[in-house]
Amino acid sequence: MDPKAYWIGFNLAKGIGAVRLKALLDYYGDLETAWKAPADSLRAAGLPPKVLENFLLIRSSCSLEKIWENLQKRDISVLTWEDPDYPRRLREIDQPPPVLYVRGRLEEEGWPIAIVGTRRVTVYGRQVTEELATFLAENGITVVSGLARGVDRIAHESALKAGGRTVGVLGSGVDRIYPPEHRNLAERMIAQGAVVSDYAPGTPPEGINFPPRNRIISGLSIATVVIEAGEESGALITARFAAEQGREVFAVPGSIYAPQSKGTNRLIRDGAAPLLKFEDLLEALHLKKVTEHQAARTLFGPADATEARLLRVLTDEPQHVDEICIQSGLPIEQVSATLTLMELKGMVRQVGGMSFSIIREKFADYEAGDHV
């Protein structure tokens, strides 16, 4: 049986989240051993009585082998902390979800941006959402949202119409699309992106599930844009998670009289960047020429002397950007901007927070001294 099945088993046990699962991994070394451990051992490993009771009930009542076979039949992929394909940016947040269930392709989304907002969208909010999602998709940027009514749905649909990728994060199992009228939209997204959840298949769309899933929306993304949000909107929770995760937060300003703009205007007052032009978003994230540089991914050598100097410094082992600056003798602004473009071209990869390594296979026939 695939070792991931044991991760699914623990994911089904209420009360065993990222912290307790990490403790079990530290105690036992792997989850198969933990799954088969006797109750006394699990108690010694730190499981509280109620959590232990829940786990023992799950273990005695489910067949992991059947669950795994069912997932394969339904084309539901499973990613865990141990998978190299687990989204890098999500891995960087505090307590990332141990298990992700995916329908479609949750690729290493190069430059995803979240678009979130109210379900009761205005004509103004609809126009901004449609135009922003289209703009991002046309620039090769993945649109991330929550597949809810209103802004979320418009963002997903607009990205698809523009031929782009879009990812929906659910507050239910990936087989329980909510709201139900979005099932056809979800199928189109699966063909041209993905729907993802940290809730096991079969989990119903209960209200308590939605606020926690917002941390995944922001965690997958390099920035979050709030289009419209009332004072109690869930989009504000996503914005808060994004800020806590060290991600950029943008808000679209609106009328001081519109209920749907009270939340976004407050975000701006509290420090979020006002989104006045879509181009400003790319510029602030150093993605102003994403399309041009994505088209240049096939290049096998540096484009200029700065890239050549960085290639002489970079190795297979990740180095922090500060160390790269010291070794290259270049200022941080120049190094950061150039590394961003090199990552777009597929020349380097970012490993963890602000550490970079070279993608060696791109340069099999290149010597650093070949470039002026």
Position 292 scores a pLDDT of 53
Position 290 scores a pLDDT of 52
Show the domains of the chain with their CATH numbers: 1-72 (1.10.150), 113-284 (3.40.50.450), 296-370 (1.10.10.10)
Position 365 scores a pLDDT of 46
The tens digit of pLDDT for each residue in 47-57 reads 999 999 999 99
The tens digit of pLDDT for each residue in 6-18 reads 999 999 998 999 9
CA distance 257 to 261: 8
Percent of the chain with pLDDT over 90: 67
Is the link from the previous residue into 179 a cis peptide, with omega within 30 of 0? yes
pLDDT confidence bin for 284, thresholds 50/70/90: confident
* CB contact set of 148 (below 8 Å; sequence gap of 6+): 119, 179, 234
Please tell me which residue, 153 or 362, carries the higher pLDDT value: 153
Residue 283 φ then ψ, to 5°: -65, -40
pLDDT confidence bin for 297, thresholds 50/70/90: very low
Task: Output the average pLDDT for the chain.
Answer: 88
- Identify the burial level of 99 via C-beta atoms within 10 angstroms of its C-beta, where 0-12 means exposed, 13-18 middle and 19 or more buried: buried
Percent of the chain with pLDDT over 70: 91
CA distance 188 to 186: 5
pLDDT for residue 368 is more than 60: no
Position 315 scores a pLDDT of 85
pLDDT confidence bin for 371, thresholds 50/70/90: very low
Position 308 scores a pLDDT of 85
Find tokens 């307590």 and name the residue: 95
Predicted TM-score (pTM) of this structure: 0.78
CB atoms within 10 A of CB 234: 23
Mean pLDDT across the stretch 344-355? 78
pLDDT for residue 364 is more than 50: no
The tens digit of pLDDT for each residue in 211-222 reads 899 999 999 999
CA distance 194 to 174: 10
Position 289 scores a pLDDT of 52
pLDDT for residue 88 is more than 90: no
Please tell me which residue, 293 or 36, carries the higher pLDDT value: 36
pLDDT for residue 97 is more than 70: yes
DSSP class of 251: E
Least confident of 59-73, 219-233, 348-362: 348-362
Position 352 scores a pLDDT of 66
The tens digit of pLDDT for each residue in 142-163 reads 999 999 999 999 999 999 999 9
The tens digit of pLDDT for each residue in 244-275 reads 999 999 999 999 999 999 999 999 999 999 99
Mean pLDDT across the stretch 133-149? 93
CB atoms within 10 A of CB 317: 9
Position 363 scores a pLDDT of 55
Residue 194 pairs with which residues in a beta bridge?
Answer: 104, 167
Are 194 and 167 in contact by the 8 Å Cβ rule? The answer is yes
Please tell me which residue, 356 or 294, carries the higher pLDDT value: 356
The tens digit of pLDDT for each residue in 108-125 reads 556 899 999 999 999 999
